[in-house]
Structure 1
């Protein structure tokens, strides 16, 4: 058990590791429940259902509500920028910010799931569900890391940080990152920022998305080799199912074994 003590400097690595271990022992089920709470929300973009306060559709709006409520329950100062983005602050000694940005939107589940995509399933030591890795799980874990430091401050085991720590909840990362554009148009950039996206710390930044459209010359249908090609539910996700219809003469096909 770690003894309370008033500190004027950062805790030692040994003390911090003890506090982390104790927090995980006491709050692991809360962490999993919080991940499940977000995973149960199909928070993919739906511009056809966009509305005031929900510019990316009802799913991202509902996920943002849940994330801000989670942060508020932890005791952080929270703010909602009209559904474009939200953030939670652990107030430090100055207004200058260290930023963490995680996104709580997802791509559509698509076909091929062996488990319910919109809930957390535990199997062989893993958590399964849409967004568990990208990026609801890492976002929840990072938010709990902020909560750990907040609790250590309250217990006199850690000092107030010299900078305000701000967690930014993105809700449009999977398509156009309009949430980031909105945030930067209305707020100053943090002095430093990282994102615990997916396999952090391998992934620690966002590179953006490049969309392209490829076309060919207009070929009459009767002259086409590839009749149709389709697959996937989002341009930035590996297709769970794809198919192609190809024109070929039977005599031109390689013989199947046993025929």
Structure 2
């Protein structure tokens, strides 16, 4: 049974997955899911975040090796985590057998204004201004990344508690943003089977980023019609079922069974 590794995005941590990991376990029929924080986030909030994606890859590989979970792995990652997962799959192809990228973006496939929509910039500036005020900052992040209003009060209470218990420093947030902005995937597609998931109504990242990425790599691309940037939050069932349905398809295409 292959282990799934989950990687979140900019300033987010494992607790922000919410109920998604449990739903994914059922959809892909596994008991082995490893959720990892990137340096500067979550349990690693006191660490200095690397300013480049390559260093994040090195950290993630070390964390996985220390977990004693055997590979190869199946990696599901979103946003900045998707860039880390992509670089990992490119540099160490024997490590990863399946890759799921959610609402990520990267050069050379997308421009700066596609990777971060201009209409989101004022909201991001307000979040930066309010960064030390958990309630205001998390409400701003929710508005930018989530389109599903169900459970809003519970979301904000949980996110505020996460923010207060493991605050991400402004400096670490900026280093992560700098790493994401500079990341260039080059022209080499990951060797493993890859699924790209995107949200048509993503207010933060233009979904054309995922469309171009999937086209360049010949990857399967599925798009949710109404979810926001945080697709696993807005519709964890759709996301998990999309992955679960894709796995046998890609196995048949490769002539393998996993």
TM-score of the pair, normalised by structure 1:
0.23
Larger radius of gyration: 1
| Structure with the bigger percentage of helix | 2
Which structure has the higher relative contact order (CA within 8 Å, separation 6+)? 2
TM-score of the pair, normalised by structure 2:
0.23
